[in-house]
Amino acid sequence: MAVYNIHGGHNPSGKIACGASDLLDESREDRKICKEVVRLLKKKGHKAYNCTVSNGTSQTDVLRKICTKCNKRQAALDVSIHLNSGRNDHKGDKKIAGTEIWCTQSVGIKKTVGNRILANMKKLGFTNRGIKTTGNLYYLNHTINKAILIEVCFVDDKDDYDLYKKTGYKKIAKAIADGITG
């Protein structure tokens, strides 16, 4: 049995500091995936806490509140669920942009879980964009537990959109939950 903190990124759809919205709506989808990941982790006998924030007053406030929720307890891993943007491929170019994972350092549980999630997502057809490291993400820098951030796929890529719709958020959540627990 392990403890996990999971959240969907940003404020809810339509509110200030909400996620990216294009073919897919980031805040709407990340919350569906998050809830299902929490449900699946609990079903496996783990303790999983939904640390999603829906009442932030700004982007900084959302991030601060997420970290406060995550830092209430010791956890094996904190997981942030996002959808990417920036492909601007509304027609579809037959290329799945795919999944990437961010962390401060690709070591230990972050590396193991990250690679497992990427491999599971690849089985569903989402291109493996790899584990990327950064020292510039507030969430990764302010969580006391080990933390990763998943960019599931792109909201503005027709190929990702089609695959996402075909696959459904439940299978994606299962790929993530199985990746977390191994």
Q: Which spans of this chain sit near Zn ion (rule: CB under 5 A)?
A: 9, 19, 82
Q: Give, to the nearest 10 degrees, the angle between helix 169-181 and helix 26-43.
A: 50
Q: What is the nearest approach in angstroms of Zn ion to the Cβ of residue 84? A: 8
Between 82 and 110, name the residue whose CB sits nearer to Zn ion.
82
Query: In Å, how far from its chain's centre is CA 133?
Result: 15
SS3 for 174?
helix
Element (H, E) at 6: strand 3-8
Min dist CB 121 to Zn ion, Å, is 17
Residue number of the CB closest to Zn ion reads 82
Q: Which is nearer to Zn ion, 9 or 12 (CB)?
A: 9
Asked if 21 contacts 83 with a C-beta cutoff of 8 angstroms, the reply is no
Q: Which is nearer to Zn ion, 86 or 108 (CB)?
A: 86
